[in-house]
Amino acid sequence: MNFFDVINTRRSIRRFTDSIVPDEVIQNALDAATKAPNSSNLQPWEFYWFKFSQKKAELAEACLFQGTARTANHLIVAVSRTDTWQRNRDILVQQMQATEPLSKDLRTYYYKIIPSLYRQDPFGLFALSRFLIFNIIGLFKPIVRRPVSKNDLFEIVTKTTALACQNFMLAITAQGYGSCPMEGFDEKRVKKILKLNSDSRIVMVIGVGDPASGGIFGPQFRVDPNLVIHKL
Ligand SMILES: Cc1cc2nc3c(=O)[nH]c(=O)nc-3n(C[C@H](O)[C@H](O)[C@H](O)COP(=O)(O)O)c2cc1C
């Protein structure tokens, strides 16, 4: 399939057959997911892959027994994290330094700017100082004004993780299978199954399988492009 065939073929599949989706298909799609563009290359995502385990049944229950969760051959939970940036930064820097010394600009970016944006403390002091600095400097010149709070940080890591999810789903379509993203789940229960802490968020759960007949609920409806595409 060429790129636009993949885009036009992908649909949300709400029911799958019992056919097995080979692990290789999921592995290829996960590789595609981790190639997604991501903020500062800090890769704040995690993917939990459920196959035929008791845990998969528990997860389907936490996804409110939706058809796609019940019948999916594989379930992938995409998680965004605000607490992996230091680890990932250090790994990245090590990789970069394997080929050439880290430039002064990159050192400043990863060891001064990123920590000043990502650091959180229980009393919100970092957030308050960021708020003040952004708003004072912003009076005089354009400046990036977020993240201030931990919620802003969650927005950043979640945005990035959603892009990885899209890569994943398109890669599933490109290999001839179907998927459906879900945000209809009980986050508390999903996090309990995965033993995740409060620095993580469940972005979506994605069901993968061989589409059953009737698994697509109808034609693809979209609003008029003129309502959402603004040419300036
Ligand atoms: C973040 C997100 C969450 C979604 N959650 C659900 C869900 O819980 N259950 C479901 O059946 N579909 C879910 N969908 C699928 C949408 O309903 C679907 O993408 C939309 O209706 C357009 O249909 P299409 O994907 O076939 O083009 C979700 C989609 C996204 C992007």
The mean pLDDT value of the chain amounts to 97
| Statement to judge: residues 28 and 77 lie in one domain | yes
Q: Do residue 133 and residue 89 come from a single domain? A: yes
Residues 191 and 94 in one domain: no
Closest ligand 1 atom to 216 CA: 26
Report if residue 204 sits inside a domain.
Answer: yes
**Contact predicate 25/175, CB 8 Å:** yes
The pTM (predicted TM-score) of the whole model is: 0.96
**Do 157 and 79 fall into the same domain?**
yes
Q: What is the mean pLDDT of residues 109-123?
A: 95
Give the pLDDT band (50/70/90) at residue 180: very high
Instruction: Please tell me if the CB atom of residue 173 comes closer than 6 angstroms to any atom of ligand 1.
Output: no
- pLDDT > 90? residue 129: yes
Q: Could you tell me the pLDDT band of residue 53, with boundaries at 50, 70 and 90?
A: confident
Cβ burial of 27 (10 Å; 0-12, 13-18, 19+) is exposed
Binding site membership of 71 for ligand 1 (Cβ less than 6 Å): no
Q: Which residue has the least CA distance to atom 16 on ligand 1? A: 12
Say if 216 falls within a structural domain: no
Residue 130: domain span: 85-148
User: Structurally, how many domains does the chain consist of?
Assistant: 2
Give the model's pLDDT for residue 33. Answer: 98
Q: Residue 52: pLDDT above 80?
A: no
Count of H helices and E strands in the chain? Answer: 11, 4
**CB 11 less than 6 A from any atom of ligand 1:** yes
Position 88 confidence tier, pLDDT thresholds 50, 70, 90 = very high
Q: Is the CB of 62 under 6 A from ligand 1?
A: no
What is the DSSP-derived secondary structure letter of residue 30? H
Ligand 1 centroid – CA 181 distance (Å): 6
Same domain, 132 and 37: no
Residue 217 forms part of a structural domain = no
Q: Mean of the pLDDT values across residues 171-200?
A: 98
Domain final position from 148, 164, 188: 148
Give the model's confidence band at 58: pLDDT under 50 very low, under 70 low, under 90 confident, else very high: very high
Q: Distance of CA 110 to CAs 1, 45, 210, Å? A: 39, 18, 43
pLDDT at residue 54 above 90? no
64 lines ligand 1 (CB under 6 A): no
| 207 and 124 together in one domain | no
What CATH number should be reported for the domain holding residue 33?
Answer: 3.40.109.10
| Mean local confidence (pLDDT), 4-19 | 98
- Based on the fold, state whether residues 119 and 167 are members of the same structural domain: no
Pocket residue to mutate for ligand 1, from 6, 7, 12, most atoms within 8 A of Cβ: 12
Question: 15 in ligand 1 pocket by Cβ < 6 Å?
Answer: no
- Which residue, by CA, sits nearest to atom 20 of ligand 1? 12
Is residue 229 in some structural domain? Answer: no
Task: Kindly state if the Cβ of 204 falls inside 6 Å of ligand 1.
Answer: yes
The reported pLDDT for the residue numbered 86 is 98
Q: Say yes or no: CB of residue 14 within 6 Å of ligand 1.
A: yes
Band of residue 69 on the pLDDT scale cut at 50, 70, 90? very high
Segment 136-177, tens digit of pLDDT: 999 999 999 999 999 999 999 999 999 999 999 999 999 999
Mean pLDDT to the nearest integer, 35-39: 98
Query: Do 142 and 47 reside in the same domain of the chain?
Result: no
